[in-house]
Amino acid sequence: MNHSTIQNKSSYSKSVLPNGLRVISEQTQDMQSFALGISVSAGSRNDTPGQEGISHFMEHALFRRSQNHTGRQIVTAFEQIGAYVNAFTTKDHTCYYVRALNNHLEECFELLSEIVLQPNIIETDVKKERGIIIEEIKSYEDEPEEMIFDIGEELLFKGSSLAHPISGFIDSVRKINAEGLQNFHKDFYNPKNLIISFAGCNPHEELVRFSQQLQLNPESGKSTDISIPPELQPTKIIQKKPYQQSHLLITRQVEGITSSDRYPIAVINCILGDGMSSRLNQLLREKLGYVYTVYSTISLIKECGTMSIYAASENNKIDKIRDTILKEIEKISVNNLTKKEIERAKEQIKSNSIMALEGMSARIQSLIKSEISFDRYESIEDTILEIDSVTAEDIFNCAKKYLASDAWSEVRLIAK
């Protein structure tokens, strides 16, 4: 056997081929369907300067035409066997995946790998896709909740490749051409950056055998890692928009997914604003009646992450909402969490983690995220143990580290 393979009791297997290509799988029992993904550890953080959005553009462009088939022939071939194919781009990776019945694995593997690894990127297709993506960007600008988070990331990561939206800007997308996409594909879509992920009944060695037959770009030597962006001084921005409501985002940078803060900050987030019993929902919605929507959220990649609080309401309530949020943050920072709140939050995080893996597509996405972030498998049993091991002291130390009320940037989109 000319590849290294590791297995564990959770039916997880990982093989690394001599060229660096990784094949990871999780065997599931009694399932009639599978999920297969081909991912590249290059996302919007790896976009070419001046061509922000090129990784997302690539995701679109690869479905246009391969070396052997047109886009229409590709989607027809998938649908003739009842398969569902899609793709998505994140900050740190791009994933192309398919769901189908077990007896169609080989066909799906051949088709999906052809799309991702044997593209035929021509200017006429790029021109069409450019127009579609520009319309996609315009649609985000009509969604204040989507837009305000993009602005928040621009504030937090200014000067970093994490600052721009995943889809890029209209001006940057207009600069992307076929040659730029071809070069991006050669730079990043090579064996050491590629991950084949699978969840289903088929044996792992079958995936390895298929993967060994792939024709791949040579290694370019380009790394997908980025440096951790510096933490900037808190900033405030106000924009007037033709919306019915005004929108508020309070946000800050936190350490990444590999940090020991990962689960303590998840507990804090859950208590503060994740769920109907959270402090912010109970206070701002149920008690004061200021909002229909308020929540907090964390978003983590390997290098760093964000913690954010979002709310929407009438313009004349935004100041009161902001003050209430900052007061609640300050309370948590001085350790006023109860044992009951901490236990509830931990149970909620464990339940969410387990339920999130009940779908096959979610399983392969979890496999990919673990591989990119940790270079290893993170089982649900590992996750539960880590959550259970979080102490009140861990949470308090994390709260002191992040929850000072003067450490947050602020974005307001004011209705006009």
What are the residues whose beta carbons fall under 8 Å from the beta carbon of 234, sequence distance 6 or more? 252, 406, 407, 408, 409, 410
Nearest to 398 by CA among 264, 297, 294: 264
Residue matched to tokens 């000319």: 2
Residue matched to tokens 């983590």: 300
Please compute the mean of the pLDDT values over residues 79-106 and round it to a whole number.
97
Structural domain total, the chain: 2
Domain annotation covers residue 251: yes
Q: Which helix (H) or strand (E) holds 22?
A: strand 22-27
- pLDDT above 90 (res 202): yes
Concatenated DSSP letters of 358-414 = SSHHHHHHHHHHHHHHHSS---HHHHHHHHHT--HHHHHHHHHHH--TTS-EEEEEE
Domain annotation covers residue 220: no
Domain co-membership, 144 together with 288: no
Please state whether the predicted TM-score (pTM) of the whole model is above 0.75.
yes
Nearest to 46 by CA among 195, 160, 170, 175: 160
- Beta partners for 188? none
Domain co-membership, 260 together with 177: no
Residue matched to tokens 């960007």: 137
Q: What is the CATH number of the domain that holds 262?
A: 3.30.830.10
What is the chain's alpha carbon radius of gyration, rounded to the nearest angstrom?
23
Render pLDDT for 204-214 as a digit per residue (tens, 0 to 9). 999 999 999 99
Render pLDDT for 208-244 as a digit per residue (tens, 0 to 9). 999 999 988 888 778 788 888 999 999 999 999 999 9
Render pLDDT for 106-147 as a digit per residue (tens, 0 to 9). 999 999 999 999 999 999 999 999 999 999 999 998 899 999
Q: What tokens appear for 164 in the block?
A: 């721009």
Q: Is the alpha carbon torsion for 378, 257, 386, 298 positive or negative?
A: negative
Give the Cα separation of 253 and 234 in Å (integer). Answer: 10
> Number of H helices and number of E strands within the chain?
15, 12
Give the Cα separation of 267 and 269 in Å (integer). Answer: 5
Domain annotation covers residue 228: no
- Beta partners for 26? 12, 199
Render pLDDT for 9-54 as a digit per residue (tens, 0 to 9). 458 999 999 999 999 999 988 889 999 999 999 999 999 899 999 9
b (16+ CB within 10 A) / e for 48-74:
beebbbbbbbbbbbbbbbbeebebeeb
Of the candidate ranges 102-111, 164-173, 350-359, the one whose mean pLDDT is the lowest: 350-359
Q: Tell me the HSE value of 291 on the side-chain side, using a 13 A CA sphere.
A: 25
Range of the domain at 74: 4-212
Domain co-membership, 260 together with 168: no
Domain co-membership, 310 together with 198: no
Render pLDDT for 327-343 as a digit per residue (tens, 0 to 9). 999 999 988 899 999 99
Domain co-membership, 279 together with 361: yes
